[in-house]
């Protein structure tokens, strides 16, 4: 049992002795530290006790005597507030963190539950731009968080390797490209070919008809030359994506492909046509969901080529039937919200009622506007990486003239990853991100490098203590940690497991990101206000144990967010 729950259970037991029954979940953290450490809003008791909440709080404050962990109880309006004995709380939390180490904060709430998290989902024949990183950063963090909460997780990628965008690139290559035009970076070449294809096709129905014919032949799979070109260029894209995934330390358990699901969807079509809301309209096959206020979803075009819906329906079923999952998460941008509602409704009307959750996120903008593969107004992952590496490597050389090139390169890349991933995670999914590389790379402010720098500072203090022969395991009086900022840091440590649970339950890694930033801010306030190695012996030992515990929690959180740890910066 974690320390926070132990404290709450003691308050629950204390109230029970006075005939008041509450749950641990009824206790809240007061909005202001001066009010206390935990608070009970007495509104929850008003109906049962038939008294005004203010009167309940006043009476209980007079009746209840302090306990082992609770040193004072006071009422403020309708709130009953509890003040903790931080010397005892500190001892409890430090011992728990020391014992659990990297496992501190995790739980087993998801034990026995199998979940599939589908994320990334890039389209082949396009470049992997900076906007794709938001999906990847959120998705990989959720995979880590669900696993930390005991779930058995299947991390899945769903790659768009067929469709109109692919047909456009193939059309462009067949009509405008010679082998000598293809440079060494084939992924980049395909992205540029897509942009040029869109430019050529714009406003030209005759050429667009040629593309549609290629798409039809591609889905039929009988044109050997076309299929060879598709497979060759598809591999170029997949190789480029896999290289990026390796750099980002992203691993998938399964890859799904639209080209496979397209065939499964067409096989399922006769079954779908038996449903009264699936019908033919002007030669196309549609799902009429108007009565559910979800509009109409086209599944199959009049020329026989399929759209996303006809692929996503069989895939959704496959996830549950073949992989035996209990829950399926879709990490897809917010603009697809209605589309996924349509898919979920179709599955429900088919009698396939499973737990399918859309985890939406807003898109990433540049200062010049929305990222778009169609217009070429994109910044690729590689471009951001290369620009960041030059800047960070130069700054690292200035700080560490004694480091060799390899160490500088490794540290610089970790700083870049922290800047990039944290920059994509730090805001809730409903917020549009305007990505600013200069801002993301700063060592101060709400950034990944700031968290890394704080961790390096924690390490530096502990390293100096070790060099001075200080044994942190020595005995000390926990009452030495009496400053308000020390109490706040202890509260942060206690609250960490709840943050992990809340982050997972809300499918929102920004909750953990914001917590880690807050505890780093609190530590740096502590660092500037209070001495550690120059403090009196008892205080010094207490503060070193506090620092060691903060480092453990910070590193645990960074690992869950997929952010590299640096011991020194």
* pLDDT for 4: 83
Q: What is the pLDDT of residues 530-563, one digit of tens each?
A: 999 999 999 999 999 999 999 999 999 999 999 9
Lowest mean pLDDT among 343-347, 356-360, 374-378: 374-378
Neighbours of 352 (CB within 10 A): 15
Task: Tell whether 523 and 401 lie within a shared domain.
Answer: yes
Q: Which two tokens stand for residue 419?
A: 């800047």
Q: What is the pLDDT of residues 191-201, one digit of tens each?
A: 999 999 999 99
In this structure, is residue 164 part of a structural domain? yes
The tally of domains found in the chain comes to: 3
In this structure, is residue 557 part of a structural domain? yes
Q: What is the pLDDT of residues 205-259, one digit of tens each?
A: 999 999 999 999 999 999 999 999 999 999 999 999 999 999 999 999 999 999 9
Task: Tell whether 159 and 212 lie within a shared domain.
Answer: yes
Q: In the listed set 84, 111, 132, which residue is the last one of a domain according to the structure?
A: 84
Rounded to the nearest integer, the mean pLDDT of the chain is 93
User: Is pLDDT of 35 > 90?
Assistant: no
User: Is pLDDT of 142 > 80?
Assistant: yes
Task: Tell whether 432 and 521 lie within a shared domain.
Answer: yes
* pLDDT for 418: 97
User: Is pLDDT of 369 > 70?
Assistant: no
| CATH number of the structural domain spanning residue 399 | 1.10.730.10
In this structure, is residue 132 part of a structural domain? yes
Mean pLDDT across 298-308: 94
Task: Tell whether 236 and 167 lie within a shared domain.
Answer: yes
Range of the domain at 248: 119-257+320-370
| DSSP secondary structure string for all residues of 371-426 | -BTTTTB--BHHHHHHHHHHHHHHHHHHH-TTS-HHHHHHHHHHHHHHHHHHHHHS
Residue whose entry in the numeric block shows the structure tokens 């030059």: 390
Task: Tell whether 352 and 468 lie within a shared domain.
Answer: no
Lowest mean pLDDT among 25-39, 68-82, 252-266, 421-435: 25-39
Q: In the listed set 84, 105, 134, which residue is the last one of a domain according to the structure?
A: 84
Mean pLDDT across 34-50: 89
- Alpha helices per DSSP H over 468-509: 484-505
Task: Tell whether 506 and 419 lie within a shared domain.
Answer: yes
Lowest mean pLDDT among 5-14, 97-106, 286-295: 5-14
In this structure, is residue 342 part of a structural domain? yes
User: Is pLDDT of 367 > 80?
Assistant: no
- If one compares 368 and 327, the residue with the highest pLDDT of the two is 327
How many whole angstroms separate alpha carbon 569 and alpha carbon 552?
18
The pLDDT-based confidence of 375 (bands split at 50, 70, 90) is: low
* Whole-number percent of the chain with pLDDT over 70: 98
């Amino acid at each position: 049992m974690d320390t926070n729950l132990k404290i709450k259970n003691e308050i629950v037991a204390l109230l029970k002795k006075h005939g008041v029954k509450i749950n641990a979940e009824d206790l809240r953290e007061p909005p202001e530290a001066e009010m206390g450490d935990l608070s009970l809003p007495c509104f929850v008791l008003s109906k049962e006790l038939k008294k005004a909440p203010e009167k309940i709080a006043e009476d209980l404050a007079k009746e209840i005597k302090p306990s082992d962990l609770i040193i004072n109880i006071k009422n403020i309006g309708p709130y009953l507030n509890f003040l903790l004995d931080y010397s005892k709380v500190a001892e409890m939390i430090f011992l728990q963190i020391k014992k659990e180490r990297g496992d501190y904060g995790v739980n087993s709430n998801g034990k026995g539950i199998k979940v599939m998290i589908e994320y990334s989902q890039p389209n082949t024949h396009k470049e992997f731009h900076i906007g794709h990183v938001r999906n990847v950063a959120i998705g990989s963090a959720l995979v880590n968080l669900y696993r930390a909460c005991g779930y058995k997780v299947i991390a899945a990628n769903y790659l768009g390797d067929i469709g109109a965008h692919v047909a456009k690139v193939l059309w462009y290559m067949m009509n405008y490209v010679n082998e000598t035009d293809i440079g060494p970076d084939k992924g980049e070449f395909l992205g540029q070919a897509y942009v040029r294809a869109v430019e050529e096709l714009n406003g030209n129905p005759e050429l667009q008809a040629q593309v549609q014919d290629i798409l039809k032949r591609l889905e039929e799979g009988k044109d050997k030359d076309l299929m060879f070109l598709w497979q060759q260029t598809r591999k170029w894209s997949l190789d480029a994506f896999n290289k990026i995934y390796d750099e980002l330390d992203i691993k998938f358990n399964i890859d799904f492909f639209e080209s496979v699901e397209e065939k499964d969807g067409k096989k399922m079509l006769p079954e779908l046509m038996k449903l009264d809301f699936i019908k033919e309209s002007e030669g196309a096959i549609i799902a009429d969901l108007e009565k559910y206020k979800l509009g109409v979803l086209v599944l199959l075009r009049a020329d026989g080529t399929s759209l996303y819906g006809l692929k996503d329906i069989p895939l959704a079923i496959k996830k549950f039937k073949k992989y035996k999952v209990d829950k399926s998460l879709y990490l897809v941008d917010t603009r697809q919200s209605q589309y996924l509602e349509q898919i979920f409704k179709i599955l429900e009307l088919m009698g396939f009622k499973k737990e399918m959750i859309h985890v939406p996120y807003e898109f990433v903008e540049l200062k010049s506007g929305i990222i778009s593969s169609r217009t070429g107004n994109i910044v690729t992952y590689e471009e951001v990486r290369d620009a960041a590496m030059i800047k960070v490597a130069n700054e690292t050389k200035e700080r560490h003239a004694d480091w060799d090139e390899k160490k500088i390169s490794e540290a610089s890349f970790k700083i870049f990853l922290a800047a990039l991933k944290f920059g994509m995670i730090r805001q809730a999914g409903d917020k549009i991100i305007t990505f600013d590389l200069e801002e993301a790379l700063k060592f101060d402010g709400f950034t990944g490098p700031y968290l890394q720098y704080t961790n390096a500072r924690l390490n530096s203090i502990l390293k100096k203590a070790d060099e001075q022969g200080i044994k942190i395991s020595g005995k000390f009086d926990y009452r030495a940690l009496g400053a308000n900022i020390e109490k706040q840091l202890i509260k942060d440590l206690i609250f960490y497991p709840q943050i992990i649970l809340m982050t997972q339950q809300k499918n929102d890694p920004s909750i953990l990101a914001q917590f880690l930033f807050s505890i780093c801010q609190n530590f740096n306030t502590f660092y500037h206000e209070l001495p550690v190695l120059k403090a009196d012996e008892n205080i010094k030992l207490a503060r070193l144990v506090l620092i060691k515990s903060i480092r453990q929690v910070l590193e645990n959180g960074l690992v869950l967010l997929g952010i590299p740890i640096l011991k020194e910066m």
